[in-house]
Each structure stands twice: as C-alpha cells, then as structure tokens.
Amino acid sequence: MSRPVLYSLVAALMFNHSVFAQHLDVEVWGQGNALFAGYCRTPGVVGCDLNGLTQTLQLPAGTLPLENATGRLIFLADFRDFSGGDFKTKNPGFQSAQNALLPNELLSYRALGTLKYWDPVLSAWGNPPYGIQVRLFGGLEASRQVISDYSQCAGQLFCFSEGGLGVDGSTVFSADGILGSPELVVDVTNNNGILHTHLSFFLENWQGEIGGPVGAYLVTMQLISNARYFPSEPFLILFNAGLDENAFATALLALIGEPSNRDPIPQPVIPVSIPGDVDLDGDVDRIDVALILLAAQNNEPLQPENARFDVNGDGIIDRADASLAKALCTLRLCNIPTDAPATALNVATVYDEKTGMLSLNDIQVNDQHYRAQLQLQDEALFVLATVQLDKSRYVSPARYDVESALLEIPAVFTNGKFYKAVLRNIGDFKFRLEQLEETTVAFE
C-alpha cells in the first residue's frame, strides 16, 4: 500500500488552482467481479475538484471531461507540474477509498490504443510528431517476469526473468500503438482496501531523450485487478505539454464537444469510517489535522460535503476538531507505513454474498490457468456460469484435479475473512461444496 502523497489534495482543496497544474486522480472501486474507474465518486476525496477544474480552464459551466465520441472519462495531467519537471509527471494518481477494493487487491493498468497529439498551431487532434512518445513506468513486483524463487535467480532473493533483473519495465504509448509491457502494476491495496499511488510518465523521443513539442497528448488505458474478472472501462489521460490554460482548454473541449450535463457514473457515497480522516486516505495523519485547522481558520460552514471535518460532531468546524484528530493520530510522526499485512497478498477467489457469485480468478488445471465464475444455486451447490482460459496470476491459485474431480481453493475471501474450500465436480457443470473452514493464513 502506498503512503499518500497529497499534493493533489492540497492543490484541489486549499489553494488558488492557477498555481498548480490541473489534474484529476483516477478513483477506483470494485463491485462484484467488475472494476470501475472514475472521478469524484467519493465527495472530497483526493484529487477531485471538478468545479476548480472548470474554473481554472474557464470551461463552460457544467462541463464534464468526457470524450464526446466514446463517452470515456478524461483525466487531466500536466507535464510541467511540480513533481517532475518539464517533461515528467506523476499524475494522475490512482486511489481507492476505504473498502472500495478488497484488502491486498492488486491493481494493474493495461495500455490501449495509440498516442494522440493536439497540435496548437493546427488546433486539431492527430498523430504525434515523428518519434515522439509517452513512456509510463509501472510497478514491476507483480510482473509476470518476477521470480521469487532464489534457486532460479542464481541465489538472488528475487529477480526478473531468467536470473537477472533485466526487465522491460515500461509501457510506451506511440503513434503505432503500445510498445514494451502493455500491463504493469499500479499498486496493491492495504488491509482496508485503500490505495493511493502515482506512476511515472515521461514525454520523450524514440531514443529515450526527454522532451517533446508543445501541445497536448492523449493516451488510453484501463485498469485490471487480480481479484476481478472484468476490467474497468477504458479511460483517457490528457497531458498538457507546455500549453497555456486557454490552449489546453481548447484541446480538451475539442474532445468533449458540446458542454455536457451528464453526471459521472452514479455511485453510492461511501461513508467515512475513520473519524478524523478528512482526506479519505485511510489514516489520520498530520495532513488531516492541518486541513481541519485550515478549514477552521477559514470559518468554513458545515456542509454535507465537509461533514467529516466536524470530527467531534458538535456542528461546527473548529480547532477542537483538529485537536481531536491529532489525538486520533497514533502513527509515527502521524504518518507511518504499516507493517506487512499478515493476510495473503493475492486472493485468488472471492465470494460475493449478495449475488452468490464465487469468482475464481485463477484455477490451475495441469499446466493451464483459467478464470471462472460459479453461481450459488442451492445451499452448497454451485453452477459453472463462465469459464475462460487465462494466464497465471497468483502465487497460490485454486487447483482442479481432473481425476478426482476436486476443486481445492486455498483461500476464499468473503465478508472480511478467509476460508479454505473444497468443491467436487458432480457433473452437468455443477459443483458441490464438500469442505469449508476458516483460515487465518491464506497460503501455508
């Protein structure tokens, strides 16, 4: 899990936006076996300030960054922001609020499509200048090339592919499509399903030299999870490379088309479950305290959107709320990484009690790996709903033995607990639950 980096929150909530480059973070959540990506699902969450965005870019009121042609969400970022320099950026960030994803759920991106370029001279979208590309460095630790068996790494505790650390750890968005590794890790959620992380985007030429023409660049990607069958809908990331706000707004409006009053994907508001966690990053730290102090100093009235700032629930936001938040902050320096989770890192199987769907994200049958879904039909009887050939994604997948017709699942995650389960194939695509016992250690 990442330690929150809250430049975006600070920029979005507290300051004159012209000082900072505009960007929207990608908020991620899961529902059943599907993954979703969007913005402003959780009010007040880090990196969500649509009003500030429209004001800064002087967009028509009600404008939402959605591509007109496809309806895909557009996330904004700027190569000139303070994190990287002129041609590098860590934005947009990726985040999930508490319980929006499973504990220890591994999130990856999948690059799609081709790189598009907004030429400010022509005021038109098209292919980028020859050789210009956007390179994205994702996380490598869950790469398919990672080998955690030292006997295959010449003794090194882990390595990437064939004993070395040589790995193609980047994704290139070019006019010709996606080069390098199309899928790399975003991050893994913590025990509360919280994630906030940033990747590393570079504008460069094909020789790897940093830099590129002024304009705007557009890439497409979607998010995938190791615990869910369906990836998110594809979305777009629009990078500003040296345009002023008006020119950037023009590039954006060319994608958006006519002002739209469409709402983002409607989702229920996730309640704040940690008192004092006003930036919704899963812990109470010094930044929460500082934000409450600032709100109190500005005499901000209590509204539904900032109700979490009223930590003591007395109806006003004041220094007493900040003091209470400070008391609730028990972390080292009010900002400490937690110890390694004791639970399994990769939960290959998830059971949704509401829908009765058992999602097997990795089943090994001999040397083949599959994904499947089993629908609960009776008290202990499941029916195979879907099955699809897939790649190996987990340390400990479920295993199906053809001869015995037994499906052994080392860990099923449901309702905050892990269970070890055995199902028997009784024919006609039906499986009967034969063993179920709670386990604390997912992989032994």
Q: Which is nearer to another protein, 249 or 278 (CB)?
A: 278
Taking residues 298 to 337 in sequence order and writing x for each that binds another protein by CB under 8 A, - otherwise, the string is: ---------------------x--xx--x--x--xxxxxx
Place of tokens 């800064």: 56
Q: Is 389 helix (H, G, I), strand (E, B) or coil?
A: strand
Q: Does 23 bind another protein (CB under 8 A)?
A: no
Per DSSP, 305 falls in state G
Taking residues 365 to 404 in sequence order and writing x for each that binds another protein by CB under 8 A, - otherwise, the string is: ------------------------------x---------
Taking residues 134 to 173 in sequence order and writing x for each that binds another protein by CB under 8 A, - otherwise, the string is: ---xxxxxx---x-xxx---xxxxxx-----x-xxxx---
Sign of CA pseudo-dihedral 178, 180, 182, 187: negative
Q: Which is nearer to another protein, 59 or 97 (CB)?
A: 97
Q: Does 185 bind another protein (CB under 8 A)?
A: yes
Q: Which is nearer to another protein, 198 or 369 (CB)?
A: 198
Q: Does 348 bind another protein (CB under 8 A)?
A: no
Radius of gyration of the chain (CA): 23
Minimum CB distance to another protein, residue 185 (Å): 6
Evaluate the omega torsion of the peptide bond into residue 397 and state whether it is cis, within 30 degrees of 0.
no
Minimum CB distance to another protein, residue 398 (Å): 17
d(CA 144, CA 137): 15
d(CA 98, CA 93): 16
Q: Which is nearer to another protein, 125 or 443 (CB)?
A: 443
- Residue 101 corresponds to which tokens in the numbers above? 């994803």
End-to-end CA distance of the chain: 23
Q: Does 361 bind another protein (CB under 8 A)?
A: no
Residue among 30, 52, 65, 84 that touches another protein (CB under 8 A): 84
User: Which residues ranging from 87 to 106 are in contact with another protein (CB under 8 A)?
Assistant: 88-90, 106
Q: Does 420 bind another protein (CB under 8 A)?
A: no
Number of residues that bind another protein (CB under 8 A): 75
Minimum CB distance to another protein, residue 238 (Å): 18
Question: By C-alpha distance, which of 27, 40, 154 is closest to 96?
Answer: 27
Question: By C-alpha distance, which of 111, 302, 141 is closest to 220?
Answer: 111
Number of CB atoms found within 10 A of residue 381's CB: 15
Q: What is the strand order of the sheet 34-38 is part of?
A: 34-38, 26-31, 93-96, 195-198
d(CA 286, CA 437): 41
Residue among 69, 340, 389, 402 that touches another protein (CB under 8 A): 340
Per DSSP, 44 falls in state T
Q: Does 200 bind another protein (CB under 8 A)?
A: yes
Q: Is 368 helix (H, G, I), strand (E, B) or coil?
A: strand
Q: Is 170 helix (H, G, I), strand (E, B) or coil?
A: strand
Is residue 273 within 8 A of residue 82, CB to CB? The reply is no
Minimum CB distance to another protein, residue 376 (Å): 30
Q: Which is nearer to another protein, 52 or 138 (CB)?
A: 138
Minimum CB distance to another protein, residue 135 (Å): 8
Minimum CB distance to another protein, residue 15 (Å): 7
Question: By C-alpha distance, which of 265, 270, 268 is closest to 194?
Answer: 270
Q: Which is nearer to another protein, 325 or 374 (CB)?
A: 325
Q: Which is nearer to another protein, 14 or 385 (CB)?
A: 14
Minimum CB distance to another protein, residue 124 (Å): 29
Per DSSP, 338 falls in state P
Q: Residue 364 forms beta bridges with which residues? A: 369, 399
Q: Residue 89 forms beta bridges with which residues? A: 201
Q: Number of C-alpha atoms within 13 angstroms, CB side, residue 146?
A: 15
Minimum CB distance to another protein, residue 89 (Å): 6
Residue among 187, 283, 321, 362 that touches another protein (CB under 8 A): 187
User: Which residues ranging from 241 to 300 are in contact with another protein (CB under 8 A)?
Assistant: 286-287, 289-291, 293-294, 297
User: Which residues ranging from 202 to 241 are in contact with another protein (CB under 8 A)?
Assistant: 202
Q: Which is nearer to another protein, 168 or 245 (CB)?
A: 168
Q: Does 28 bind another protein (CB under 8 A)?
A: no
Q: Does 77 bind another protein (CB under 8 A)?
A: no
Q: Does 339 bind another protein (CB under 8 A)?
A: yes
d(CA 61, CA 58): 8
Minimum CB distance to another protein, residue 345 (Å): 6
Burial status of residue 335 (CB atoms within 10 A of its CB: 0-12, 13-18, 19 or more): middle
